[in-house]
Amino acid sequence: MSAGRLLSVLLLLQSRGRVSARGIADELGVSVRTAYRDVVRLQAAGVPVYAEPGRGGGYQLLDGYRTRLTGMSQGEARALLFAGLPGPAADLGLAAEVTAARLKLLAALPAGLREEAARTAAVFHLDAPAWYRDPEQTPHLSVFVDAVLTRRVVDVRYRRWRAPQEVQRRLRPYGLVLKSGVWYLVAATESRVATYRVTQVLDAVPSDERFDRPPDFDLGAYWTSYLDDFQQRRFTGTATIRLSARGRRHLPDNLPPEVVRAVESTATAVGDDGWVEAVIPIESTEHACGELLRLGVDVEVVAPAELRQAMADTVAVLARAYGVG
């Protein structure tokens, strides 16, 4: 049972007046039977929902009954967007607002729904950062939060991967994205909209200049497009490798899913000892060498020649370090 869906039914009845079970089901994307059950749960929780029979009938709230979500500050209203994300909310400086907003929201619910919401909150927890990674330090995140909300231009000093590594940028922040525990800023320069990893910002100084965010800019659509473009630019070539049966089993724990899928779709048997040959995408010779060495003796690079040589050179250096040969 979803407490959130019950609240949606309640707000739907409050905003629409009389709604049929079919109308509730269509609006919330559930079956009519589920809509009936949700109404019964609302009634059991003390919400005065009654049915109007006959043609044009449906469910509606007793006249004068309304939920009361009053007394919220602007910060608390914003914090509702992060009510299920305590870690990110704290990053954004909204930890106290999230707590206050949650308490006010719970207080406004009927007793039955309040208990249901409390049970739901007790069994779900979000931990955004990936395994084996400490949370990134983002001392300038609060500057960008304020800039996004107030539409204020920010001057930044940014460290990037290519030369020149340290650059100056005057940014118009359009939004912030949390991806696998890492914060990214989506912002416009004079020439384009780009993505910046917040932890790579060396300095951020808000200016007095304001900007207008384009009314048709969609942060979610931009991010989806950015990810698609990143994947297309990420892999610059291919490599032919041979894998043992053990190496193939360990592949998902050591290499990206794109590589795993490539092996599954291109693998052909080599001999009768369980080894296969496959073609995989690679980012660069150096990157692929480091990735494939994780599989140790269970992988052999067949081509390209420069990657095979890089693997051999690395193994030779390791052998010398350990006094072999």
pTM to 2 decimal places: 0.60
**3-class secondary-structure state, position 155:** strand
CA-closest candidate to residue 112, choices 64, 48, 49, 41: 41
* pLDDT (tens digit per residue) in 17-53: 788 989 888 888 889 999 899 888 888 888 888 888 8
Q: Is residue 73's pLDDT more than 60?
A: no
Mean pLDDT of 196-204: 95
Please state, rounded to an integer, the average pLDDT across all residues of the chain: 84
pLDDT-derived band at 124 (thresholds 50, 70, 90) equals: low
Mean pLDDT of 225-238: 89
Cα radius of gyration (the chain): 28
Q: Is residue 182's pLDDT more than 90?
A: no
Instruction: Report the Cα 17 to chain-centroid distance in Å.
Output: 36
- Report how far apart, in Å, the C-alpha atoms of 184 and of each of 29, 141, 194, 256 are: 32, 9, 10, 21
* pLDDT (tens digit per residue) in 265-278: 999 999 888 999 99
Q: Which stretches of 71-210 are assigned E, i.e. beta strand?
A: 152-159, 166-179, 182-188, 193-197, 201-210
Phi, psi of 130 (to 5 degrees): -75, 165
* pLDDT (tens digit per residue) in 102-123: 666 666 666 666 666 666 666 6
What percentage of the chain reaches a pLDDT higher than 70? 79
CA-closest candidate to residue 62, choices 78, 77, 46, 73: 46
Contact 92, 141 (CB under 8 A): yes
The residue type at 135 = P
Q: Is residue 166's pLDDT more than 50?
A: yes
**Percent helix / strand / coil, the chain, rounded to 5:** 50, 25, 30
Torsion sign over Cα 149, 151, 155, 157: positive
Residue 77 confidence (pLDDT): 46
Contacts of 231 (CB under 8 A, 6+ apart): 258
Mean pLDDT of 177-199: 92
**3-class secondary-structure state, position 290:** helix
Q: Is residue 225's pLDDT more than 90?
A: yes
Residue 325 confidence (pLDDT): 64
* pLDDT (tens digit per residue) in 282-294: 999 999 999 999 9
Q: Is residue 1's pLDDT more than 50?
A: no
Instruction: Report the Cα 134 to chain-centroid distance in Å.
Output: 17
User: Which position has the higher pLDDT, 117 or 143?
Assistant: 143
The residue type at 302 = V
Contacts of 243 (CB under 8 A, 6+ apart): 251, 263, 267, 275, 276, 277, 278, 295, 298, 299
Q: Is residue 321's pLDDT more than 90?
A: yes
Contact 21, 32 (CB under 8 A): yes
Residue 87 confidence (pLDDT): 65
